[in-house]
Amino acid sequence: MIVRCIKIIQPGTSTVVSEHPGVRIGEEYPVLEVFAARPRILFRLPDRSARRNEIDSPGLWDADMFEIVSDLMPTCWVAGLEDGRLTLAPQEWQRPGFWDDYFDHVPDAVAEYDRLKARIIAEA
């Protein structure tokens, strides 16, 4: 799934802003994960500012910021439902603590993220 940014909403607020270092209006992004919890839908996007040999810092962005360019869904996505929250993402990323492990640079989690991110982008 590929989306194009049409406006920028400051993360954690409902404020529309003209720019943000994490996304750009008019840019297209592969969606790594869809997270829906009433009343919001969020897209996890790869960090395009990450340099070589740096850990990617994929962010969650309000779906209202985007329009869908390609609705082709990655074959590794599965639906998960926990406590009323719906997630479309690889099963491996849906285990409790995965994102904590990833952002704590746990090697297995980083390798799993890198492998599945590459697969999602290749299928986009």
pLDDT over 70 percentage in the chain? 94
pLDDT over 90 percentage in the chain? 77
User: Is 60:108 a contact under the CB 8 Å cutoff?
Assistant: no
> Mean pLDDT in the chain?
92
- Phi, psi dihedrals of residue 71, rounded to the nearest 5°: -95, 15
Taking the whole predicted model, whether its pTM rises above 0.95 is answered as: no
Q: What is the mean pLDDT of residues 90-116?
A: 96
